[in-house]
Structure 1
Amino acid sequence: MGELTRASPVAVRGEVPVTERKRRVTATDVARSLGLSRTTVGYVLNNTLGQSIPAATRERVMAEAARLGYRPHRTAQALASGRSMIILLVLPDWPMEHSLRQNLETASHILDHAGYALVTYTRHEGGQARPLWEMLNPDVVIAWTSISAAERTSMQASGITRILPVLQQERSALASPTLTAGTHLQIEHLYEQGHRRVAFATSINERFSLLSQGRAEAAREAADRLGVDLLDLRPVDHRDGTVHQAVREWHAKGVTAVAAFNDDIAAMTVAAAQRAGLSVPDDLAVIGHDDTPMASMLYPSLSSVSIDSVGLGRYLAKLALHAAEDRPLPEAPPDLHAAIVVRESTRR
């Protein structure tokens, strides 16, 4: 048996051995490499205003920082400047659907160009996770859902002073035209197409409960205003057969059109009608909501409500920049920028 020798450090596959791991390159390393003071290098790397540092020195510092692989320490910068450059958006517990994704993508791009990161935080019923605002220290918190007095106190205790909306301006999903204007348009469109006996199909997903309730109330209001018989209002789904049962019962009651909570509900209603031997739209007209890409690909193609999600995203970003930098307050949100896209499922 050979002589025992001291083993070399062995790394687990996929890991870097401790002896080979690189520590973070700091401003001190850059200063030492160039023979400059740590203060001078710090001024350059942090782009500190009011410092008369020669352009040649700035170029040397930036070039050496890039060569060494220096990356700014965001936490330290935030502590030094008092700003995290983070906008935190508190969302209700809704599934991430097409319109919401468009909205957030637009806002994120605009804020990114202004130097801010948009972070979303969804609160879940009974959730035990520590709130993100306590860990990120965002410059601004915008709530798309009502926040409790305890949550507001928690934000303020974390040093957050810019919290929108303020309590006096908060609006529930039930009252927001942004979320209910499309439902009014759905009922009005069906009325204009000659339908007087209508049903409203909503989602069984409990995460949509508040939004479903708001749109259901809007459907009742529009039907009452126009003299339309809203004969039924119920949650449906294709997995448990409720949509097939609903379509059969609606047809038996003389319902000639269905307004759906979203395009998914509308699509399953169209499918259930076709399986029941009904023609869409001759026997049963169906209109969706959100104008997702799927709406134009179905057969028959799906009439739907198009919401200005991009415009809402721009408004959100401008509102955040107003709070963060005192930029001009944006005009009122495009609450009523909704329109009917007429396709085969309602066109006579």
Structure 2
Amino acid sequence: MNGRRVTAADVARSIGVSRATVGYVLNDTPGTRISPETRDRVLQAAARLGYQPNTVAQALARGRSKIILIVLPDWPIEFSLRTQLDEAARVLDEAGYATITYTHHESEHAQPLWKLVEPEVVVGLIPFTPEDVRSIRAAGISRITPDPDEHLDIGLMPAVLAGPQLQVRHLASRGHRKLAFAATPDKRLSHLNAIRRRATERQAADLGLELLEAREIDYRDDNLAEVVHAWLAAGVTGVVAFNDDIAGTVVGTAVRAQISVPGDLAVIGHDNKPVASYFAPTISSVGVDNVGFGRWTAEQALHLAAGRPVSAGFPEPAVFLFERESTA
């Protein structure tokens, strides 16, 4: 066929039958009166010509694409997010659905992917903005999760706040009364950084602890030792880090400056990445149930796509303390 796709019309012309007859045979349409001989001729011609069904067209005709679009915030795809996505994709695959992930940039020049594909459900890992909801619905997609009508705020979600709260409580349990927050310099994470910092401030205030103003910790900064020494001079003995990468940078800086960890400065990270357990000294961290959250995300999509039962609302926060050498 000169390199082009073989169509049902090509099959019909090759054996002198109608396009409708070929369609009935290839789609195994019930209730049609087609002789066994004609059916065999159609199937043999399709095999000879190398006909392959246009699955996209078939899905659109059925109104079922079996595609779930997961929209990612413009965050680095690191350990926690990757674990969550892997579990969501696994659950959806077992249910017969393909997963497409798409990073939604704030200053976007390309068309949003929900306008270019035909997903059955659009899933946001964080709540969609009203503008996004209007755009998704304008593309003819009505199945959206989280439910836009619930007007969720990521900054108020217990699952997001529980980690920083546990970080502060752990340092308080070790006797630390003056803390510092080590922030990420990654501007893509500025909103999440602010949420975790506020959660840290509120938990510290509730426990009667003092929390210094947040400082960005960039591993490329040659003056990090000065930051750590300034913390010590101000009486800081515990550091709440935005994540394990930031915690590792603080610990590494302290060790190179001959500051004892945790003797002079205790540090706790967030996410419980593998690096936390093989860093030296090992880094205490708070881990979130990313597998459970990924499974819940897939279940929400399957509820909208196939009517599967699912619990309402975001899952209860499941966070775990992994105490290691940096706070022991």
Q: TM-score, normalised by structure 1?
A: 0.84
Partner of 2:70: 89
Aligned pair in 2 of structure 1 residues 297, 60: CA closer, same or farther (>3 Å)? farther
Instruction: Report the CA distance shift for 1:170/1:63 in structure 2 as closer, same or farther (over 3 A).
Output: farther
Paired residues of 1:307 and 1:338 also in contact (CA < 8 A): yes
Distance 1:293 1:223 in 2: 27
* Separation of aligned partners in 1, 2:209 and 2:269: 18
**How many corresponding residue pairs?**
328
Looking at structure 1, the residues matched to 153 and 175 of structure 2 have their Cα atoms a distance apart, in angstroms, of 33
Secondary structure of the residue aligned to 2:116 is helix
Residue 333 (structure 1) shift:
3.6
Equivalent residue for 1:12?
Answer: none
Q: 1:144 aligns with which of 125, 131, 137?
A: 125
- The higher relative CO (CA closer than 8 Å, separation ≥ 6) is in 2
- In structure 1, stretches of 5+ residues that fail to align are 1-19
2:74 is the counterpart of 1:80: no
Cα distance in 2, alignment partners of residues 114 and 168 from structure 1: 27
Residue type of the alignment partner of 1:234? R
Query: Post-superposition shift, 1:241?
Result: 3.1
1:250 partner amino acid: W
Q: Decide whether the 8 Å contact of 1:236 with 1:242 is kept in 2.
A: no
Shift of 1:153: 2.9
Q: Secondary structure at the match of 2:171?
A: helix
Q: Residues 276 and 135 (structure 1 numbering): CA distance in 2 closer, same or farther, change over 3 Å?
A: same
SS in 1 for 2:80: helix
Look up the match of 1:207. 188
* Corresponding position of 1:133: 114
When residues 175 and 50 of structure 1 are mapped into structure 2, their CA distance, relative to the original with a 3 A threshold, is: farther
Q: Residue 141 of structure 2: which of 148, 151, 160 is its match?
A: 160
1:191 to 165, 172, 176: 172
Q: Tell me the residue number matched to 2:315.
A: 334
Judged with a 3 Å threshold, the aligned counterparts in structure 2 of structure 1 residues 282 and 146 are, in CA distance, closer, same or farther, namely same
| Separation in 2, partners of 1:290, 1:50 | 57
Partner Cα separation in structure 1 for residue 44 and residue 170 of structure 2: 63
Q: Is 1:219 paired with 2:200?
A: yes
* 1:250 and 2:231 matched: yes
Kept in 1: contact 2:133–2:148 (CA 8 A)? no
Task: Find the counterpart in structure 2 of residue 5 from structure 1.
Answer: none
Partner in structure 2 of residue 236 of structure 1? 217
Equivalence for 2:305: 324
Question: In structure 1, the residue corresponding to 2:115 is in which secondary structure?
Answer: helix
Name the counterpart of 1:3.
none
Q: Are residues 329 and 63 of structure 1, via their aligned partners in 2, closer, same or farther at CA, if it must alter by over 3 Å?
A: farther
| 1:109-124 alignment runs, 5 A limit | 109-124=90-105
Q: Percent identity?
A: 49
- 2:161 is aligned to 180
- Residues 116 and 46 of structure 1: is their aligned pair in 2 closer, same or farther, counting only changes over 3 Å? farther
Separation (CA, whole Å) in 1 of partners of 2:323 and 2:236? 20
| Aligned-partner SS, 1:232 | coil
User: How far has the Cα of 1:149 moved from its partner?
Assistant: 3.8
| Cα distance change on mapping 1:304 and 1:23 into 2, 3 Å | same
State the distance in 2 between where 1:56 and 1:306 align.
64
Give a deviation string over 1:295-342, Cα, whole Å, max 9, x none: 111111111111111101100000001111121123544341110111
d(CA) in 1 for partners of 2:281 and 2:28?
59
Unaligned runs of 5+ in 2: none
Q: Any conservation in 2 of the 1:86–1:116 contact (CA below 8 Å)?
A: yes
Distance 1:88 1:214, change over 3 A: same
1:79 deviates by: 2.7
1:118, CA displacement in angstroms?
Answer: 1.7
Q: Distance in 1 between matches of 2:7 and 2:145?
A: 37
Counterpart in the other structure of 2:151: 170
Please state if 1:71 is matched with 2:52: yes
